[in-house]
């Protein structure tokens, strides 16, 4: 009986895989505008900002952004993304200057190859002090534009939109 082939992650000479190359579409300087709705029935709040995405060795991608928060004030955010060949999943984190919670991602590309669906768990916006399942969906719409949608899983078992952001490449 032969063992299933697994990638050798013990090497210090990892080479980017096709999944890492997919993330290269995020590289560059971007401007963004978005809207968020913290609670159902509340009006959407608008926000804008800029983002710079760089690569670390073609294996990890770091997105550093800053912008005006809905309701006022400036925030800084950092997202990391990579691909874990052992898990066969994209992995990453997100943090922001407006909260103490570190969001941890795991996800996959959908069948179209244009949407990266990242599952996570984070502070519930509807029930303070609890965690809720959420997901961020990064969608490549063309070479110079992408969308990000954030959704939260409701008590009704349905995914509810929480935020939508349009990114436009500057360089």
Residue 158 pLDDT > 90: yes
Structure tokens at 35: 């809207």
Q: What residues are paired with 53 via a beta bridge?
A: 28, 63
* Cβ count near 51 (within 10 Å): 21
Whether 132 and 126 have beta carbons less than 8 Å apart is answered as yes
In the predicted model, is pLDDT for residue 171 greater than 80?
no
Query: What mean pLDDT do residues 56-60 have?
Result: 98
Q: What per-residue confidence (pLDDT) applies to 91?
A: 98
Superfamily in which the 21-37+45-169 domain is placed by CATH: Calycin beta-barrel core domain (2.40.128.20)
pLDDT digits (tens, 9 = 90+) for 88-113: 999 999 999 999 999 999 999 999 99
pTM: 0.89
Q: What is the 3-state secondary structure (H, E, C) of the chain?
A: CCCCCCCCCCCCCCCCCHHHHHHHHHCEEEEEEEEECCCCCCCCEEEEEEEEEEEECCCEEEEEEEEECCCCCEEEEEEEEEEECCCCEEEEEEEECCCCCCEEEEEEECCCCCEEEEEEEEECCCCCCCEEEEEEEEEEEECCEEEEEEEEECCCCCEEEEEEEEEEECC
Residue 2, pLDDT above cutoff 60? no
pLDDT tens digits, residue range 8-31? 666 678 999 999 999 999 999 999
Domain borders along the chain are 21-37+45-169
């Amino acid at each position: 009986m032969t063992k299933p082939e697994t990638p050798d992650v013990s090497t210090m000479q990892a080479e980017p895989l096709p999944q890492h190359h997919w993330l290269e579409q995020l590289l560059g300087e971007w401007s963004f505008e978005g809207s968020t709705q913290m609670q159902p029935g509340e009006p959407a709040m608008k926000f804008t900002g800029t983002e710079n995405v760089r690569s670390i060795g073609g294996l990890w991608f770091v997105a550093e952004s800053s912008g005006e928060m809905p309701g006022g004030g400036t925030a800084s955010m950092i997202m990391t993304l990579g691909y874990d060949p052992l898990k066969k999943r994209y992995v990453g984190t997100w943090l922001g200057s407006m909260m103490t919670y570190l969001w941890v991602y795991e996800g996959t590309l959908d069948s179209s190859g244009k949407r990266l669906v990242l599952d996570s768990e984070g502070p519930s916006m509807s029930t303070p002090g609890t965690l809720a399942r959420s997901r961020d969906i990064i969608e490549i719409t063309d070479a110079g534009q992408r969308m990000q949608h954030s959704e939260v899983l409701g008590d009704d078992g349905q995914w509810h939109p929480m935020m939508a952001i349009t990114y436009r490449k500057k360089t």
